[in-house]
Amino acid sequence: MMNQIRATRIVFFAAGVGISAWAPLIPLVKNNLNIEADTLGLLLFFLGLGSIISMPVTGLLSARFGCRRVITLSGICTIIMLPFLVMVSNPTQLGLALFLFGASIGTVDVSMNIQAVVVEKNAKRSLMSGFHGFFSLGGIFGASGVSALLYFNYAAIATCLIVSLMLIVLFSLAYSGLIHETNLNYKADKKIAFPRGIVIVACLLCLMMGIIEGSVIDWSAIFLSGERGISTSLSGLGYAAFAATMTIGRFMGDRLISRIGGRKVFFIGTATIAIGFFLIVSWDEFAISMVGFALIGLGASNIVPILCSISGSQKIMPPSHAVAAIVTFGYSGIMAGPALIGFVAQYTSLETAFTALAVGALIMMANMTVVKDLPK
């Protein structure tokens, strides 16, 4: 069991590294291809499109072939595609590379969460928040590591090869602990299982959580610089506070859930998110805004892990299909959230849009009964 827990932590960390490694490379690729911001935005859409297309079928693949095969093969594809992102010579090649990279990392994402659900269920104790904590830690490590290599004048391709080599080591270390059984409640006569019952509620809650997270990622710096007059050099600190407290909260989450139960953690988390947004829009001080973003990160830290755990405790549909549905909805929210906030801000204000997110968190809080089956 400890081997499976260790392997799951390693894969979550590796996935965080793989996803975040691309972000610091975006300006370089943009300059190398000499493309405008609107073209880049369209090309980045293909990364999300690849992920969303791959995610719904990953549940079926993991149930049929086992998490070990799916994670290993999709991990290999991720390792191969990362260097290609900086080797492309035209926008068409970049769009194709981003689509394949997104499909690969999206497959890893869903399959590792299926692995996590099964491991947590077999261990009979809360582990999901810690797993997601390693994902957040990997994200910090990947983004900062690639940025450091580029700062010290490493070529982009050399940087990608270093990251790929690291991912090879991580996936190799995890291999023996990945679940190879193919009986994860798989039913051969049911090719695709659409979410229903408690799972569809969990999917909608994860969609809302994705909208909140995506909005903070893309709009926190713009809010601080545009609405609060903070210098551009400091405007990124809002997301930094959000990411830092989310990582800390996830590593504390399993112990907290075991002590007071998932429902209370969900209630406290969603309430904290709402309070964070209300602080941000109600006071002009930079310090208060930082506290607000930190509270949002802390409150959000354990929501997605709790929702993923529901897939292992429910009996309505196979856990592998439930995980795929929940993760897909969450990722869709991360993609759609910034656009929705931009639309609301265009016709009202960014403060109004953030207030709407606070209301969304309160609506989530009102649906806390969905987590009644979580272990305490």
Q: Which two tokens stand for residue 124?
A: 């009979």
What tokens were used for 189?
């006569």
| pLDDT at position 183 | 55
Domains of the chain: 1-177 (1.20.1250.20), 198-370 (1.20.1250.20)
Q: What is the pLDDT of residue 192?
A: 58
Q: What is the pTM of this model?
A: 0.87
pLDDT of residue 278: 97
| 294-344: pLDDT as tens digits | 999 999 999 999 999 888 777 888 888 889 999 999 999 988 888 889 889
φ/ψ of residue 86, rounded to 5: -105, 0
Query: For residues 281 and 355, is the Cβ–Cβ distance under 8 A?
Result: yes
- How confident is the model at residue 374, as a pLDDT? 47
Give me the amino acid identity at 26.
I
> Region 150-167: what's the mean pLDDT?
94
